[in-house]
Structure 1
Amino acid sequence: MPEGGSPRWRSERSELRQRGLAPNLWGVDVNKVQRIIMTDSHERSWIVLDASGRPITEINEYLLYLHHLGRSPNTVRAYAHHLQLFHEFLVDTRRDWKKLALTDLATFVGWLRLSSRKAREPRSDSTINVVLAAVGSFYEYQDRLGVETEISRSRRFGAKSSYKPFLHHINRTQSLRQAVMRVRKTKLLPKVLIASDVQRLLDACIHLRDRLLLCLLYESGMRIGQVLGLRHADIRSFDGEIEIVPRTNLNGARAKSRTAYVVHVSKEAMLLYADYLVHECREVSHDYVFVNWWGGHIGAPMNYATVIDLFRALGRRTGLHITPHMFRHTHATELLRSGWDAAYVQKRLGHAHIQTTTSTYAHLSGEDMGAAYTRYLRERER
């Protein structure tokens, strides 16, 4: 569906079939992910099309469900790509998604590994698990709609209780989405930047705006969506406070967190913000902090694509492979290594659960263990 067109696929399934827009779900050879603009909210979303350019009903109804739940466009896009891979597997192997069994999902894992060999980098076990989680979530959605599938039937055990969690005999607390299948993966430390690399990136920035963007990512641990959604009214420079407010943004940026919270940054960061206001900010009709001043739609808020272009340019200038989220990893890791309590780091990052903070960032490297043991020896000798 072309961008800006009416997303008619969100109508009732019967209407789609009457209009010829709902063919057999797995009856095509090639499909693709297409960006759309929702006519009601004007927000970006994503659908999966078949070889003839027609929407695939069951997948797109699920993606619409995610959109209405408030999932970010980037999340919907990721799920669309994961389910596109699942669809491609079913077409290649001539399988029916409703009749798919657990052994077929194991075959899907092998297919994911085999099909990725054509790419420069094979799919990691973490990536495969993310794809499997999306597939499991799709099946859970169908199960709640009452759609009968082989996987939903495999959840039934005995006559006293009609439904029990899938693989109930293994883990009684897992949902269908979580328990469909996972592959064992190697736990990797989050990629972080060292101080000299951060300085190289800051020095490579041509504009104060870009330098400020990197500075806030590094000093606050904010997600890129939170930074792009900042308004001037959110920044209280006199006390170094930045309020992160969940709201709908023109550039599609999402704060992700459901409630507003405050992070503190240094005086140096606020001085950089003041320099940006004086030397680069111009008169615009909105209050966004990060705006296109030199390229793209002049005066419009920066979006994800603009930031990706910026980071690619910085990568070429410095020789570093970086992403915006690496600054968040770096900030959290530095806080924990400096002795911050995990509960404080959780609040600063805006995590809903402390387990998210500890499982993602609280990993000790060999250097951390060595430094801790050295401190132990010094204290023991006192």
Structure 2
Amino acid sequence: MAVVQRVGQGLGLTWTVLGSDWRVVEPAETYLEFLRDEQRSPHTVKAYAHGLAAYWSFLEATDGDWRAATPATIGTFLARLRDGDAAGRVIPLPAAVDRDGPSPATVSLRLRTVMSFYRFWAANDGVPVAGLLYEQVIGRPGPYRPFLDHLARKSGRLRSRVRVRPDIRRPPVFTPEQVTLIVDAAAVWDVHERRWTGNLRNRLLWSLLAETGLRLGEALSLQHRDWRSGHGDTASIEVVSRPHPLGVRTKSGPRRVYIGAELDRLYADYVWLLCDGGIDSEVADLDGAYVFCNLDREPVYGPLSPSTVYEHVRAIKRRERSLPAAWTPHWFRHTHATALLLAGVEPIVVSRRLGHASVETTLNTYAWVTADAEMRTVANWRAWTAGWGAASA
């Protein structure tokens, strides 16, 4: 059975695939190295490594040759995935109804991994199987049509012959009351003591994610030089792609995101807290220091890790039972996009603010929002987003 192996790489980590003989699976490793050269995020490489490990387990169990795969081969692989055991030699009949296999999203990701793997090898080594797995079609999926769609129709595009029914579930979102509950669970303003009580860093993090729609990796990559406080104009932050000592990635390209005055004041209070703790004497280059840093663990003032953030998420879940049990920091991003669209902000502006590659991604992900009038009665979204400075990207 093939497995995924974690490997140290410079200051970060990467992943590779080992076969049942505990040797590196060379075709998989060559493709994963291509992804690394393309500067794909470590999370992407890890996800693709898991997909290839599942596929290689299937090939080993069925004595299959990866160069001789057919659509029927991939179809059988998907059936094994849905059954929950890609390496099983026999699918039980009847299928065990009490056995939970992977979610449709996971099955879809595994399929995309294998199909992308074959497209890579078809382009680089002429592996003929890709010609069997793809077909030429005219037109595009989804509601979005690009400006030059009439030209694209002449050449068409490649479409996988083996597909998974898309998971049409809506992205999970918070209500405004739930956002407030999470933010206040971190820290609140004591009107009598006239100071913040609790963890101000975490309040700033949750507030930033809610107001900007940043990915967690983008927020943790922020340095103080990236925060442009307002001095007579609208405050903003710069999302910049740069190496991170913990391997955190920004994913999207550089962009500017405007923020409201309240969030900017919260950042100023946080910086004052850092200086009161002595960061200006401990850190030589304060501008180059990370905004979200360790306050009570070593290295003090070192960059905050995602694992620490998820520790706080678990703590909030234990304390606030009314919150959805499965919520993650990425829910803030979905909530932000949903709130802006419900407030009437143009999709192109939302797309630029989120850092999507195109407005098509935004429309396909949140197409249900504009048609769901019932959501407008949940809260006054326009008033909730009024201070975000969202009129600019």
Partners in 1 of 2:375 and 2:112 — Cα distance?
37
Once the two structures are TM-superposed, the CA of residue 252 in structure 1 deviates from its matched residue by 1.3
Cα separation, partners in 2 of 1:369 and 1:240, compared to 1, 3 Å: same
Once the two structures are TM-superposed, the CA of residue 192 in structure 1 deviates from its matched residue by 0.2
Aligned to 1:273: 267
Q: Confirm or deny: 8 A CA contact 1:31 1:84 kept in the other structure.
A: yes
Q: Confirm or deny: 8 A CA contact 1:218 1:330 kept in the other structure.
A: yes
Partners in 1 of 2:138 and 2:57 — Cα distance?
30
**Where in structure 2 are the equivalents of 1:131-142 lying within 5 Å?**
131-142=110-121
Deviates more, 1:45-54 or 1:271-280: 45-54
1:252 counterpart SS class: coil
Letter in 1 for 2:199: H
Aligned to 1:380: none
Q: Deviations over 1:155-176 (max 9, x none)?
A: 7xxxxxxxxxx2236877333x
Aligned to 1:6: none
1:293 counterpart SS class: coil
Aligned to 1:224: 216
Aligned to 1:241: 236
Once the two structures are TM-superposed, the CA of residue 125 in structure 1 deviates from its matched residue by 2.1
Q: Confirm or deny: 8 A CA contact 1:336 1:362 kept in the other structure.
A: no
| Structure 1 moving runs of 4+ over 4 Å | 116-121, 169-172, 369-372
Higher relative contact order (CA 8 A, sep 6+): 2
Once the two structures are TM-superposed, the CA of residue 284 in structure 1 deviates from its matched residue by 2.8
Q: Confirm or deny: 8 A CA contact 2:2 2:54 kept in the other structure.
A: no
Partners in 2 of 1:85 and 1:92 — Cα distance?
11
Q: Deviations over 1:200-252 (max 9, x none)?
A: 11122241111111111000001111101100000012232111111111121
1:310 counterpart SS class: helix
2:368 counterpart SS class: coil
- Stretches of structure 2 that go unaligned for 5 or more consecutive residues are 86-95, 140-154, 187-197, 378-393
2:262 counterpart SS class: helix
Q: Deviations over 1:307-336 (max 9, x none)?
A: 222222222222333111110000000000
Once the two structures are TM-superposed, the CA of residue 129 in structure 1 deviates from its matched residue by 1.4
Q: Confirm or deny: 8 A CA contact 1:209 1:280 kept in the other structure.
A: no
Q: Confirm or deny: 8 A CA contact 1:212 1:273 kept in the other structure.
A: yes
Aligned to 1:55: 24
Cα separation, partners in 2 of 1:141 and 1:118, compared to 1, 3 Å: farther
Aligned to 1:199: 180
Partners in 1 of 2:97 and 2:6 — Cα distance?
25
- Stretches of structure 1 that go unaligned for 5 or more consecutive residues are 1-29, 156-165, 373-382
1:76 counterpart SS class: helix
Once the two structures are TM-superposed, the CA of residue 365 in structure 1 deviates from its matched residue by 8.0
Which of 56, 75, 93 in structure 2 is aligned with 1:87?
Answer: 56
Letter in 1 for 2:249: R
Q: Confirm or deny: 8 A CA contact 2:138 2:157 kept in the other structure.
A: no
Aligned to 1:97: 66
Once the two structures are TM-superposed, the CA of residue 264 in structure 1 deviates from its matched residue by 1.3
Cα separation, partners in 2 of 1:362 and 1:154, compared to 1, 3 Å: closer
Partners in 2 of 1:75 and 1:245 — Cα distance?
19
Aligned to 2:92: none
2:157 counterpart SS class: coil
Partners in 2 of 1:339 and 1:95 — Cα distance?
53
Q: Confirm or deny: 8 A CA contact 2:342 2:376 kept in the other structure.
A: no
Residue 167 (structure 1) aligned with residue 135 (structure 2): yes
Aligned to 1:20: none
**Aligned residues: CA RMSD:** 2.5
Residue 345 (structure 1) aligned with residue 350 (structure 2): yes
Cα separation, partners in 2 of 1:346 and 1:295, compared to 1, 3 Å: same
**Where in structure 2 are the equivalents of 1:1-382 lying within 5 Å?**
30-39=1-10, 42-115=11-84, 122-149=101-128, 151-154=129-132, 166-168=134-136, 173-175=156-158, 178-205=159-186, 206-238=198-230, 239-258=234-253, 260-280=254-274, 282=279, 283-285=282-284, 286-295=288-297, 297-319=299-321, 320=323, 321-364=326-369, 368=373
Q: Confirm or deny: 8 A CA contact 2:338 2:369 kept in the other structure.
A: no
Q: Confirm or deny: 8 A CA contact 2:118 2:127 kept in the other structure.
A: no
Aligned to 2:147: none
Letter in 1 for 2:247: G
Partners in 1 of 2:312 and 2:113 — Cα distance?
30
Cα separation, partners in 2 of 1:207 and 1:135, compared to 1, 3 Å: same
Aligned identity (percent) is 36
Select the structure that is richer in strand.
2
Once the two structures are TM-superposed, the CA of residue 305 in structure 1 deviates from its matched residue by 2.1
Q: TM-score, normalised by structure 1?
A: 0.79
Q: Confirm or deny: 8 A CA contact 2:338 2:366 kept in the other structure.
A: yes
Q: Confirm or deny: 8 A CA contact 1:112 1:128 kept in the other structure.
A: yes
2:317 counterpart SS class: helix
Partners in 1 of 2:97 and 2:57 — Cα distance?
15
Partners in 1 of 2:116 and 2:81 — Cα distance?
18
Q: How many residue pairs were aligned? A: 327
Q: Confirm or deny: 8 A CA contact 1:333 1:361 kept in the other structure.
A: yes
Letter in 2 for 1:327: F
